[in-house]
Amino acid sequence: MTRSLVTGATGYVGGRLVPALLDAGHDVRVLVRDPRKARGHAWADRVEIVQGDATAPADVARALEGVDVLYYLLHSIGSGRGFGATELEIARSFADAARTAGARRIVYLSGMVPRDEELSEHLRSRSAVAQTLLDSGVPTAVLQAGVVIGSGSASFEMLRYLTERLPVMVTPRWVHTRIQPIAIRDVLRYLQLAADLPADVNRRFDIGGPDVLTYFAMMQRYAAVAGLPRRRVLPVPVLSPWWSSHWVGLVTPVPASLARPLVESLRNTVVASEHDIAAFIPDPPDGLTGFDRAVELALTKIRELDVPTRWSSAATAGAPSEPLPSDPEWAGGSLYTDERSREVDASPERLWEVIEGIGGENGWYSWPFAWRVRGLLDRLVGGPGLRRGRRDRQNLAVGDVLDFWRVEETDDRTYLRLRAEMRLPGLAWLELRVGSDEGGSTTFHQRALFHPRGLLGQLYWWSVWPFHGIVFGSMQRNIARAAEDRRDVRAA
């Protein structure tokens, strides 16, 4: 049995690769900073979960002990300037540890690197990481993909929202760049089978689907598959990547911080220069998945609410760990709180159903216009806003995105803690707790917490404090009322 270590297992690709490897008979180990995020996946009880930080060499070495194949799926894209240096440092640590541990293969999913073109920072970083792993002394397969088409991928969500929301688009020059997209199902197949490549194979492989299209053609083909009218485009040659990324950030769920490196990469031609991988991993009998079929499959997954992983699920390698609020004292410094409790004339189970369903299409049960404005303001300064929605309409797991929050803790019965990922001068949490007593009363506890950073953080808290009673007060009342109404409906 092949023992494989999957890094980035709670991310978009890794979260789908793990079950594929398990079904293929691999003994899978995952390295995660927060085991709670891994335990939110259906495959959690079938893998060995190692807690550790990818930037800590001791943790990396421990995770690689006894491993045959390392699947390297880490990145720091979207973490700000200088992410390339962080990615290279982490790659060197894994390369050294894999060699020391006696791993027989490394498999790395990289980006397609065009020849004779000035590369974006994103592609330069991916290429440098690839070379570091190839020089490790461990046979390495670098699978270089272009745009990945699949439900929940950042590239697909960007394409989807641009096409669906803008029937007439003002576009930059990169919409005419040639791209060879690939379906996520084909990416996973290549990754899985690359574990068994011959020991003397140590090289890069371009992987792509059967279609070569411009981004503009991809939007038109998407519109046709989705049943939308043909889109019209007004090209603006001088639209810079900075402006493009903010434009993408406003229109799509992808924040500007992540959109910018993606947009910059779209300036490069990403078309396979070879298909040598077929000599080792032949194409499927029915061929690689075409663009239209990949879009159709992705839209079906979205309609059926069957999207197992999303781009927003991924943690950023090398990102600092933030402190957590704890009771009764918090070691992180000043902590402002807004606490509210009320009795609810409904069972704890009914109240929890409403709490676990907040956000996304269900909204936040108070002042929808105010929430939309707050989300728009966050988008304008490069934050995620409200467009990320939620992975599942009803169920939440640790690590799930919830609009501009992320689930930090939940016991799936009585307690939910959300960490704000909006742009703020500090750290913010929202806690929702269901209580009950021996007399059968149900209590709803709600607590907002804010840890300010500097004077700006202090000013922010006191400027929004007067609105807490309106927003959070009505939110608690309406959630309680919804639980009581749900009780009445079920009783009837």
More confident residue, 101 or 328: 101
DSSP annotation of 240 reads -
318-374 pLDDT per residue, tens = 444 555 554 434 445 567 888 999 999 999 999 999 999 999 888 899 988 888 888
pLDDT classification of 58: cutoffs 50, 70, 90:
very high
- Identity of the amino acid at 362: N
Of 248, 278, 313, which closes a domain?
A: 313
Helix (H, G, I), strand (E, B) or coil at 221: helix
Given its phi and psi angles, is residue 179 left (phi above 0), alpha (psi -120 to 50 degrees) or beta?
beta
Calculate what percentage of the chain has a pLDDT beyond 90: 45
Say yes or no: 256 and 211 in one domain.
yes
Question: What are the two backbone dihedrals, phi and then psi, of residue 253, each rounded to the nearest 5 degrees?
Answer: -70, -10
Of 266, 281, 313, which closes a domain?
A: 313
328 inside domain: no
What CATH number is associated with residue 28? 3.40.50.720
155 inside domain: yes
Quick one: tokens of 218?
A: 């991809």
Quick one: tokens of 402?
A: 């919830």
323 inside domain: no
Specify whether the CB–CB gap between 72 and 107 falls below 8 A: yes
Q: What is the pLDDT of residue 314?
A: 58
Provide the domain count of the chain. 2
Say yes or no: 365 and 463 in one domain.
yes
What CATH number is associated with residue 378? 3.30.530.20
The interaxial angle of helices 215-226 and 154-165, nearest 10 deg, is: 70
Say yes or no: 111 and 180 in one domain.
yes
Which residue from 333, 185, 332, 210 is spatially nearest to 272, judged by alpha carbons?
Answer: 210
- By the 10 Å C-beta count (0-12 exposed, 13-18 middle, 19+ buried), 232 is classed as exposed
Say yes or no: 127 and 205 in one domain.
yes
Which residue from 134, 145, 141, 139 is spatially nearest to 110, judged by alpha carbons?
Answer: 145
Say yes or no: 309 and 348 in one domain.
no
**Distance in angstroms (rounded) separating the CA atoms of residues 478 and 472:** 10
Say yes or no: 207 and 124 in one domain.
yes
Q: What is the pLDDT of residue 354?
A: 94
Say yes or no: 42 and 84 in one domain.
yes
Of 263, 280, 313, which closes a domain?
A: 313
Say yes or no: 43 and 80 in one domain.
yes
Neighbouring residues of 320: CB distance < 8 A, sequence distance ≥ 6? none
pLDDT at 251 over 70: no
**Distance in angstroms (rounded) separating the CA atoms of residues 40 and 38:** 5
Neighbouring residues of 93: CB distance < 8 A, sequence distance ≥ 6? 54, 55, 57, 60
25 inside domain: yes
- Cis geometry, peptide bond prior to residue 235 (ω within 30 degrees of 0): no
pLDDT classification of 467: cutoffs 50, 70, 90:
confident
Instruction: Enumerate the β-bridge partners of residue 232.
Output: 168
Say yes or no: 344 and 292 in one domain.
no
The residue assigned the tokens 């004779």 is 116
More confident residue, 151 or 327: 151
331 inside domain: no
How many Cβ atoms are within 10 Å of 92's Cβ, its own excluded?
16
Q: What is the pLDDT of residue 371?
A: 85
Say yes or no: 42 and 110 in one domain.
yes
398-409 pLDDT per residue, tens = 888 888 898 888
Specify whether the CB–CB gap between 333 and 451 falls below 8 A: yes
Say yes or no: 351 and 414 in one domain.
yes
Q: End-to-end distance of the chain based on CA atoms, in angstroms? A: 56
Quick one: tokens of 413?
A: 């019965």
Calculate what percentage of the chain has a pLDDT beyond 70: 83
Mean pLDDT, rounded, of the chain? 84
Instruction: Calculate mean pLDDT across residues 64-80.
Output: 83
326 inside domain: no
275-296 pLDDT per residue, tens = 999 999 999 999 999 999 999 9
DSSP annotation of 390 reads B
Domain that holds residue 469: 336-491
Neighbouring residues of 302: CB distance < 8 A, sequence distance ≥ 6? 151
382 inside domain: yes
413-462 pLDDT per residue, tens = 899 999 898 888 888 899 999 998 777 789 999 999 888 877 888 888 88
Q: What is the pLDDT of residue 235?
A: 67
Specify whether the CB–CB gap between 393 and 305 falls below 8 A: yes
Say yes or no: 301 and 351 in one domain.
no
